[in-house]
Amino acid sequence: LYEIVLGGSHVEIDSIEYVQLQGWVRTNRSSGKIGFIELNDGTYFRNAQLVYSSDLKDFNEVEKYTTGSALTVMGKFVYTPQGKQPFEIQVKEIELEGACDHDYPLQKKRHSFEFLREIPHLRPRANSFYAIFRLRSVLSMAIHEFFQNQGFVYVHTPIITGNDAEGAGETFTVTTREDANYEEDFFGKHASLTVSGQLHVEAFAMAFRDVYTFGPTFRAENSNTTRHASEFWMIEPEIAFADLEDDMDLIEDMVKYCINYCLENAPEEMKFFERMIDKECIARITKVRDSEFKRMTYSEAIELLKQADVKFENDQIEWGMDLQSEHERYLCEKVVNGPVFLTDYPKDIKAFYMRLNDDGKTVAACDLLVPGVGELVGGSQREERYEVLAARMQEMGMESESLQWYMDLRRYGGCKHAGFGLGFDRMLMYLSGMQNIRDVEPFARTPKNLVF
């Protein structure tokens, strides 16, 4: 009894003779007497091999089916263990569902990612994208399972918001008007697209204890890098009665769970990435899954950077500086050679809501840096002390009126709590070895890239 995957489900091939398949032509070649079509039905990487002979009444028509055409086929299933393909379908009936014009851009050859970025409506059919978008789906499931298995409540935080959660002024304004007046464009109020669901999800943590949000976020930063997008997805858990250590434990568990889940649930895709994108990828993430993440303070990191025997573009290493990606990558790639948590950053380079440490200079923050990607996660313990938070906001020149609700969470039964944000798209880059965030998003939005 042999088992194979067909049409997305496992079937025992002894029990089938005739099958119906629907899918798209990858290649079609004919000798005039016998022809072969590689058909992809969307459920699996590999193509089904169709064999058709001149007995078929539409033979001359079928010979002309071009790459990309959509077909429905009925044929005899033949197991071919000696052949290149594990099985073939000997075509009895074939119907052209949709022809494909000759200018179809996806011919059978390797296309550059740059070229494919210009045709986001067609590129899911190209192997690399077929693999990455399936992995995207599998990874989403991994995230939900990880949190749901532990009783976390999934909260849908708003996309349109009156708060700039990060206080970094990188918001897109929502407007209903042609003659934009940014202060009151949302029916008389100022509103923007969310940069983070954190503040809202904190409110829910004070009711459900352990919560997470997972949705799209928007940043109006004009960064043209391979790791920044204007629209990206973020996973943001928030845990009550928890501190920074608990937060880092949760991050580490989550990353390991996701790695394991993808290795188990997307084995073909992972093998594809190993073959075509990053030869180390499976070995690399397997090692990460099985080892403990390093933790070091920002201050320790600064010392290491000062002693580094490489030349940084920004060579003015001093305590208080914001680390550039070259510094982050040096730390995780050269010093640690694996994921590393950096903790206790200077308060001046971090957001207002992070809990002030006893030294009065640093905050209980953590960033998880990983080789190849840099910052994968940013998290912190939150400032739960009303007065300290108020003072911090004032020090940063923030107007507190629109955030009074957030501060009230500290007056109405506040407690120590922590959370983090995982960049979903960056996690996909990390798992697959893909080098550009534009190539892990279905329709990427970056400052210079808005196709459709």
For residues 230 and 218, the answer to whether their CB atoms sit within 8 Å is yes
Name residues contacting Mg ion, limited to 155-214 (CB under 5 A): none
Burial of 301-317, coded b for 16+ CB within 10 Å and e otherwise, reads: bbebbeebeeeeeeeeb
- Taking CB under 6 A as the criterion, the residue among 377, 393, 431, 434 binding ligand 4AD is 377
Concatenate the DSSP letters of all residues of 90-123 into one string.
Answer: EEEEEEEEE---TT-S--SSPPPHHHHHT-TTTG
Q: How far is the CB of 90 from ligand 4AD (least distance, A)?
A: 49
The 3-state DSSP class for residue 401 equals helix
Residue 138, strand partner residues: none
Determine, following the binding rule CB under 6 A, whether residue 323 of this chain makes contact with ligand 4AD. no
Minimum separation from the CB atom of position 239 to ligand 4AD (A): 11
Please pick, from the candidates 38, 88, 166, 185, the single residue that binds ligand 4AD as defined by CB under 6 A: 166
Question: Cβ distance 35 to 59 under 8 Å?
Answer: yes
Tokens of residue 172, six digits: 């897109």
Does position 371 interact with Mg ion (CB under 5 A)? The reply is no
Binding flag, residue 363, ligand 4AD (CB under 6 A): no
Of the candidates 280, 379, 380, the one whose C-alpha atom is nearest the C-alpha of residue 333 is 280
Residue 164's nearest CA partner among 154, 176, 172 is 172
Nearer to ligand 4AD by C-beta: 155 or 437?
437
Name the minimum Å distance from CB 187 to ligand 4AD. 26
Q: Rounded to an integer, what distance in angstroms lies between the CA atom of residue 103 and that of residue 341?
A: 50
Residue 428 Cβ vs Mg ion, minimum distance, rounded to whole Å? 18
Dihedrals φ, ψ of 291, to 5°? -125, 160
The closest residue (CB) to ligand 4AD is 423
Binding part of the chain for Mg ion, among 175-183, 275-283, 370-378, 410-418 by CB under 5 A, reads 370-378
> Which 414-443 positions form the footprint of ligand 4AD (CB under 6 A)?
419-421, 423, 425-426, 437
- Binding partner of residue 347 among Mg ion, ligand 4AD, none, CB cut-off 5 to 8 Å per kind: none
Closest CB to ligand 4AD among residues 94, 329: 329
- Residue 366 CB, shortest distance to Mg ion, in Å, is 10
For residue 193, give the nearest of 234, 138, 226, 251 by alpha carbon: 234
Report the distance separating Cα 353 and Cα 449, nearest Å. 32
Asked whether position 35 contacts Mg ion by CB under 5 A, the answer is: no
Q: How many helices (H) and strands (E) does the chain have?
A: 12, 19
Residue closer to ligand 4AD, measured from CB, 7 or 338? 338
Tell which one of 378, 383, 428, 431 touches ligand 4AD (CB under 6 A). 378
User: Which one of 38, 88, 164, 236 is in contact with ligand 4AD (CB under 6 A)?
Assistant: 236
Candidates 300-308, 371-379, 386-394, 405-413: pick the segment binding Mg ion (CB under 5 A). 371-379
User: Per DSSP, what are the bridge partners of residue 351?
Assistant: none
By CB atoms closer than 10 A (0-12, 13-18, 19+), residue 39 is buried
Taking residues 379 to 398 in sequence order and writing x for each that binds ligand 4AD by CB under 6 A, - otherwise, the string is: xx------------------
The residue whose two tokens read 């009444």 is 57
- Determine how many CB atoms are found less than 10 A away from the CB of residue 250: 22
**Token pair for 449:** 């890239």
Told to check if 419 binds Mg ion by CB under 5 A, we report no
Judged by CB under 6 A, the stretch of 66-74, 79-87, 224-232, 315-323 that binds ligand 4AD is 224-232
Select the span of 22-30, 90-98, 257-265, 372-380 touching ligand 4AD (CB under 6 A): 372-380
Q: How many residues bind ligand 4AD (CB under 6 A)?
A: 23
- In 176-243, where does DSSP find H-type helix? 198-208
Q: How far is the CB of 331 from Mg ion (least distance, A)?
A: 15
> Could you give the CA distance from residue 375 to residue 359 in angstroms, rounded to a whole number?
25
Q: Which x/- pattern over 376-395 shows residues binding Mg ion (rule: CB under 5 A)? A: --x-----------------
CB-nearer residue toward Mg ion: 278 or 425 = 425
Contact flag: residue 375 with ligand 4AD (CB under 6 A): yes
Q: Provide the 10 A C-beta neighbour count for residue 115.
A: 13
Residues 419, 198 contacting (CB under 8 angstroms): yes
Phi, psi of 317 (to 5 degrees): -85, 115
C-beta of 37 vs 256, nearer to ligand 4AD: 256
Is 339 a binding residue for Mg ion by CB under 5 A? The answer is no
Whichever of 89 and 428 has its CB closer to ligand 4AD, that residue is 428
How far is the C-alpha of 4 from the C-alpha of 87, rounded, in Å?
Answer: 9
| Sites of contact with Mg ion (CB under 5 A) | 378
Binding site for ligand 4AD (CB under 6 A): 165-166, 196, 198, 219, 228-229, 232, 234, 236, 375-380, 419-421, 423, 425-426, 437
